[in-house]
Amino acid sequence: MLDEYANAEVLWERFGFDNGAFEDSLRALGFHIPAAVGSNYFHTILSLPSLLNAAHVHRAAEELPEGVADPALVDRLLDRSRVAAYLKARGYRYVFFPSLWWKSTRSAPLADSVVQVWPGFHPVRAASRTEFRRVVQEGSVLRYLTRRGPLDADHLRRTLGAFEELPSVEGPVFAFAHVLSPHSPYVLDPECGVPTGVAAAHRKEGYIGQLRCLNTMLLDVVTRLLRESDVAPVILLQGDHGTSTLRYSESPSADRVPADASRERFGAFGAYYLPDSGEVAFGDTVTVVNVLGNVLRHYLGADLPREPDDRYLSLEGSAYDFHRAIEPPPGDTARASSPRRLRRGT
């Protein structure tokens, strides 16, 4: 899961960036990119468990008392991932790549292997591994030892590098990584160097620069996975939500988020390598909650009901106070200004 990786429509409309070259490279490798991809929730804490459980999470969240934002709920939903349990019961080895600092994906009790990309102990690295410690680090003498940026970049490179080694694991594998990029901090420029000047100072330039570097890294990883695997793998590149340049969370309440801000935030990226006609299970429209369900149903005949593509808005700080989106799901919205649509018309 690629944190805050927005789909092509959002990248074009909000950033003026055409991600077509990357998507075309993926298609040339055999990836399926549905015309409409989106998340069902605005927040990582909801989108991630919806993916790993192949189920909506608003029902569980709504059982909490009003006004309560219980972070233990998301941890429980992630720790008991229905998808991971299903695959483990069928002989898959669950290989988990921890995120650098997002607490809920620092560990996974169901995992058979947890890949630590930094061997040994390093005090500054340890200090950048949780959000709380990051705050401490920025206000302490530790910041003089090394800047945080290169560590984030190093962790990303090592995680994706370790992913490339998966074909050497014996037997069937379910591997999951929560990659905290292209989400801020922006520590990589388009050439995967350290950003300077404008790119370092401005959110939009920083985000697109990091996304372009990530694209290069992802193409390397998937090319290697496809080349080295004895059995054709299923590869799912999935954003957990779109971006927030229109500041959806400054709305007075979830039911008053403007349609364009909602569309931006739900606009998550998705590209899928699905051997043996798996794209039939995905079709032209997919939301995060159905991605792994589609895979389990198509490849393993899972008796798992398809979830509605419904979407639930909520604001930061009250992530569990939901408003169900009334505008149509992503496949039905007009996308006249997308680069794909423009190219098609010329």
293-332 burial, b at 16+ Cβ within 10 Å, e below that, comes to bbbbbbeeebebeebebebbbbbeeebbbbbebeeebbbe
Torsion angles phi and psi, residue 277, rounded to 5: 60, 30
| Cis peptide upstream of residue 182 (ω within 30 degrees of 0) | yes
DSSP string over 24-45: HHHHHHT-B--SEEE-SBSSHH
Residue type, 211: L
- Minimum CB distance to Zn ion, residue 321 (Å): 18
Residue nearer to Zn ion on the CB measure, 233 or 249: 249
Q: Which residue(s) pair with 287 in the sheet?
A: 38
Binding mask 186-225 for Zn ion (x = CB under 5 A): ----------------------------------------
Note whether 9 binds Zn ion by CB under 5 A.
Answer: no
Q: How far apart are the first and last CA of the chain?
A: 34
Tokens 């037997």 found at: 171
- Minimum CB distance to Zn ion, residue 180 (Å): 8
Which of 9, 23, 189, 240 touches Zn ion (CB under 5 A)? 240
Note whether 3 binds Zn ion by CB under 5 A.
Answer: yes
- Minimum CB distance to Zn ion, residue 99 (Å): 10
Of 40-48, 135-143, 151-159, 185-193, which segment contacts Zn ion by CB under 5 A?
A: 40-48
Residue type, 88: K
Of 2-10, 161-169, 188-196, 311-319, which segment contacts Zn ion by CB under 5 A?
A: 2-10
Question: Which distant-in-sequence residues (6+ apart) come within 8 Å of 79 by Cβ?
Answer: 108, 109, 110
Of 37-45, 113-121, 151-159, 336-344, which segment contacts Zn ion by CB under 5 A?
A: 37-45
- Minimum CB distance to Zn ion, residue 292 (Å): 17
Note whether 249 binds Zn ion by CB under 5 A.
Answer: no
Residue type, 233: P
Please tell me the distance from the alpha carbon of residue 203 to that of residue 107, in angstroms, as a whole number: 29
Of 30-38, 42-50, 227-235, 324-332, which segment contacts Zn ion by CB under 5 A?
A: 42-50
- Minimum CB distance to Zn ion, residue 21 (Å): 24
Residues touching Zn ion, count (CB under 5 A): 3
Of 19-27, 96-104, 130-138, 238-246, which segment contacts Zn ion by CB under 5 A?
A: 238-246
**Helix H or strand E encompassing 97:** strand 93-97
Note whether 264 binds Zn ion by CB under 5 A.
Answer: no
Residue nearer to Zn ion on the CB measure, 74 or 274: 74
Backbone region of residue 209 per phi and psi (left: phi > 0; alpha: psi in -120 to 50; beta: other values):
alpha
Nearest 10 degrees: Cα torsion 37, 40, 42, 45: -120
Note whether 244 binds Zn ion by CB under 5 A.
Answer: no
- Minimum CB distance to Zn ion, residue 324 (Å): 20
- Minimum CB distance to Zn ion, residue 184 (Å): 11
* 143's tokens: 């910041």
- Minimum CB distance to Zn ion, residue 44 (Å): 3
Residue type, 298: H
Residue type, 168: S
Note whether 321 binds Zn ion by CB under 5 A.
Answer: no
Residue nearer to Zn ion on the CB measure, 105 or 215: 105
Residue nearer to Zn ion on the CB measure, 8 or 319: 319
Note whether 152 binds Zn ion by CB under 5 A.
Answer: no
Closest CB to Zn ion belongs to which residue? 44
Q: Residue numbers of the site for Zn ion (CB under 5 A)?
A: 3, 44, 240
